[in-house]
A and B are shown apart, each in its own frame.
Chain A
Amino acid sequence: MADALLIDSTDGEVLKLAAAGAWTSTNARPLEQQIDAAARRHAAAKQVAIDMAAVERLDTFGAWLLERLVRAFSSRGAATEIVGLKQDYRALIDELHQVKLEAPARRRGGGIVGALAAVGRNVAAVGDTFTAILNMLGAICVAFARVIVHPRRFRFTALVHQLDNVAWRGVPIILLITFLVGAIIAQQGIFHFRKFGADIYVVDMIGILVLRELGVLIVCIMVAGRSGSAYTAELGSMKMREEIDALRTMGFDPIEVLVLPRILALIIAVPILTFLGSMAALYGGGLIAWLYGGIDPEIFLQRLKEAIDVKTFQVGMIKAPFMALVVGVVACVEGMKVKGSSESLGLQTTASVVESIFLVIVLDGFFAIFFASIGM
């Protein structure tokens, strides 16, 4: 039970409110309730005197609640005065008396309108992202052309550094993942094909699937998660700290200095990783075919030679640099979109990974149509 912090009594026409105890932040909740109750109970009071003499301590919280009490009475036209207030607290009360409580204008519309507006904004944002990607692609081409004309301006050290991050350090995890995927496909294939006595066709399936589609797709998804997100976060935090503006004022083109080496590193790294990944997947598939399906390595290799040709391999490898470009451009576009807050950095990094994986899969679909129509 909270102590009484406000005791009311009437003296003829005058309502007397005697304050007591500590009017501080720790008592703010019970104090607020007692004050609001008092203001409601004596709604008809014409003259109010608030006696603050017995208050032990007063802080901003208590002072504000006193101010609220005074305002509640004065807004109804009651003459309100504060008596017995210690001199030390006078300045604080005066300060708070100046505070104007205007409700800030609400910016958002409510309900359905708000929801429709949000949908509209999102649709427009998709268009903006697409334009930004094209814009970035154009800027990269210009920067690349400039670098070809003046090869000395190219940041070779940055490229090597990025290659180290993207390609070299990514090799172990990519080998492991693709190896496992190859093994799983082989196991599932053998398990189901065995019912028809078609075990041996598992080799065809592994060969074509891995070399044409899965190798490059899995590598691109891994690279989008590993390196695309890192690009977005790096560029985004540089944007937040105005480092990109600093580069610009020194007469450097951020696209040439920051984006071009990163994109080129991806374009070089992804085909290498795709090749390594495909080999690891074939190895995993072959291993499982031997251990689980009883297909000897010699037979596996011979069957593989019949099932695939150089074209199958080429299809996968041709796709790799284009997908790398998509991942890199999306990552850089999203990085450049980061605004001041840490929350925006997180949002753009998420968007970068989701968009680049989506676009890589869409692009893969277009390539499938294209290769089918040219008979590859």
Chain B
Amino acid sequence: MIAGNGKAKETVIEVRDVKVGFGDRLVLNGVDLDVYRGEVLGFVGGSGAGKSVLMRTIIGLLPKRAGTITVFGQNMDAASDAERQAVERRWGVLFQQGALFSSLTVKENLQFPLREYLNLSQRLMDELALAKLEMVGLDASVLDKIPSELSGGMTKRVALARALALDPDIVFLDEPTSGLDPIGAGDFDTLIATLQRTLGLTVFMVTHDLDSLHTVCDRIAVLAEGKIIAAGTMETMLASEHPWLKAYFRGKRSRAGHVADTAAQVPAPAP
């Protein structure tokens, strides 16, 4: 494992026996999950399986019915407001639709968390906004635009830059590559990998994108029927005989499946 380096792995998020439901339906029924420092965890599951629900529960947007969630060793249920805020300052969230503030310019969006949490000079904030924007592959020309003037890929990049504004230790990404073309999605994957290395981030990524799982994720956790049915590296997933995992990772759209398909169609070369 890349994150290993022989050191003992430090757990930054610990989810134990979490149950979340809406009305009569229990979406998460006893989820256990560990996220280790410095890794990129890909979180997969069928549509409506509750991936985003778990993410929103961890960051405190949804109430849970049972279980404990510990972030940086802090039990989030027992945390006081101040302790909670201290933890919240150490994570950044990229929402599926970007969730940029639509009435603020890109620059104001990026500076919003800086202005609220830190006491910085305007010059430093301006320079940092530009620096973060260039880190996510954009340039000064978008600074004065408002979110509705941005394309889908630009919106995701600006939202990522905002999620990174306070130098978080963990970033939560909710389907970061959905709605991007394959080239844009590939660029975004590379970007996440680069930023993860440069800033030493822990990344929790909800995704459907098999390419992202192959290229950037150190470890994959799979959610089905309200539980984590598997967690481990890509090799473990490919080797698994669980029917859902087989269908997901070795199905028609996966790389393995694709290779098998084309191999079957191409006639064997003459000896």
Contact = CB atoms under 8 A, between A and B. Distances in A.
Nearest to A106: B144
A25 B92 CA distance: 15
Chain A CB within 10 Å — which of B117, B131, B141, B143 has the most?
Answer: B131
Interface stretch (A117-125, A165-173, A337-345): A337-345
B143 A100 contact: no
Contacts of A99: 130-131, 134-135
A28 interface: yes
A60 B132 contact: yes
Contact of A25 (B118, B131, B132): B118
Interface in B125-151: 127-128, 130-132, 134-135, 139-141, 143-144, 146-149
A107 interface: yes
Contacts of B61: none
B167 A59 contact: yes
Nearest to B103: A343
Contacts of A60: 128, 131-132, 164, 167, 199
Interface in B157-181: 164, 166-167
Interface string A74-106: 000000000000001001100110111111100
Interface residues of A, number: 30
A371 to B, nearest CB: 46
Interface residues of B, number: 32
Contacts of A341: 102-103, 146-148
A88 B200 CA distance: 8
Interface string A12-44: 000000000000111011001000000000000
B140 A340 contact: no
A61 B147 contact: no
A88 B144 CA distance: 34
Contact of B127 (A25, A64, A343): A64
Given A92-B199, A342-B103, A29 B119 contact: yes
Interface of chain A: mostly helix, strand, loop or mixed = helix
A152 to B, nearest CB: 38
Nearest to B132: A60
Interface of chain B: mostly helix, strand, loop or mixed = helix
Nearest to B168: A59
Interface in B91-116: 102-103
A61 B198 contact: no
Given A60-B132, A340-B147, A29 B103 contact: no
A96 B102 contact: no
Contacts of A95: 135, 194, 198
A240 to B, nearest CB: 8
Contacts of B130: 99, 101
A68 interface: yes
B148 A102 contact: no
Interface in B62-102: 102
A95 B149 CA distance: 27
Contact of A102 (B121, B140, B164, B167): B140
B197 interface: yes
B144 A96 contact: no
A96 B103 contact: no
Given A28-B118, A28-B124, A99-B130, A91 B197 contact: yes
Interface string A40-81: 000000000000000000011100110010000000000000
A61 B199 CA distance: 12
Given A107-B144, A341-B148, A342-B102, A29 B120 contact: yes
Interface string B26-56: 0000000000000000000000000000000
A104 B103 contact: no
Interface string A225-246: 0000000000000000000000
A61 B147 CA distance: 25
Contacts of A64: 124, 127-128, 131
A339 B140 CA distance: 23
B38 to A, nearest CB: 11
Nearest to A343: B103
Nearest to A108: B144
A96 to B, nearest CB: 6
Contacts of A26: 118
Contacts of B141: 104
A331 B143 CA distance: 33
Nearest to A346: B103
Interface of B: 102-103, 117-121, 124, 127-128, 130-132, 134-135, 139-141, 143-144, 146-149, 164, 166-167, 194, 197-200
Given A95-B194, A99-B135, A104-B144, 12 more contacts: A29-B118, A29-B120, A60-B164, A60-B167, A61-B120, A61-B128, A64-B131, A68-B127, A98-B134, A100-B140, A104-B140, A340-B148
* The 8 nearest A-B residue pairs measured at CB: A340-B148, A343-B103, A341-B102, A59-B167, A91-B198, A104-B140, A99-B131, A99-B134
Interface of A: 24-26, 28-29, 32, 59-61, 64-65, 68, 88, 91-92, 95-96, 98-104, 107, 339-343
